[in-house]
Structure 1
């Protein structure tokens, strides 16, 4: 088997594979996208109980923005069904505004 030396000088020559459901795969992909790490690094850190530190970059910012937009739309939908979500919706709106402000600082 071929040896692979990674960027931190580790020999990585073992392959680990497992099956997941489509829903689990989607959730893992979402977490990886939001972390800014490679899928390999994210899964390795999670499985070895090491802290996952989000690497801020434009790709992560876009993933966070898109995720917040999805959450916001779902909360708006739920708001039509119940008045109890108003505080949560306004808090989310504030977080979205702050996130948009962060983008403006980088430009």
Structure 2
């Protein structure tokens, strides 16, 4: 029986599970979508280094487009007198950082 190995020849046979609140899970899923990585790769990279490098691809573009559409809807709502939530501000900041990284800005 041949073992499944990753691209670097490592045999990954251990599972790690943990609990999250619905808000934490949503924030993690947004970060994963905007990174263009799988959830496993994203979490491993977060644990391995100080920052995540995003490579532009169609999946990242679609995630950015979808998040920007949601933010646009929220901004229209805010113009009517409501306020942005902390979660929405966080997502907007994350999108801005991702777009700056894709453009090569600091």
Q: Does TM-score exceed 0.5, indicating one fold?
A: yes
Max Rg structure: 1
RMSD: 2.4
**Structure 1 residue 11: deviation in Å?**
2.6
Any stretches of 5+ residues in structure 1 without a counterpart?
83-91, 93-98, 100-107
Distance in structure 1 (CA, Å) of the matches to 2:55 and 2:7 = 16
Give the number of the structure whose residues are more often helix, by fraction: 1
Distance in structure 2 (CA, Å) of the matches to 1:38 and 1:55 = 13
Name the TM-score, length of structure 1 as normaliser: 0.66
Spell out, residue by residue over 1:22-48, the C-alpha distance to the aligned partner (whole angstroms, 9 max, x if none).
221111111111100010010111123
4+ runs deviating over 6 angstroms: none
**Larger relative contact order (CA 8 Å, sep ≥ 6):** 2
Any stretches of 5+ residues in structure 2 without a counterpart?
83-91, 93-98, 100-106
What residue is the counterpart of 2:26 in the other structure?
Answer: 26
**Structure 1 residue 10: deviation in Å?**
2.1
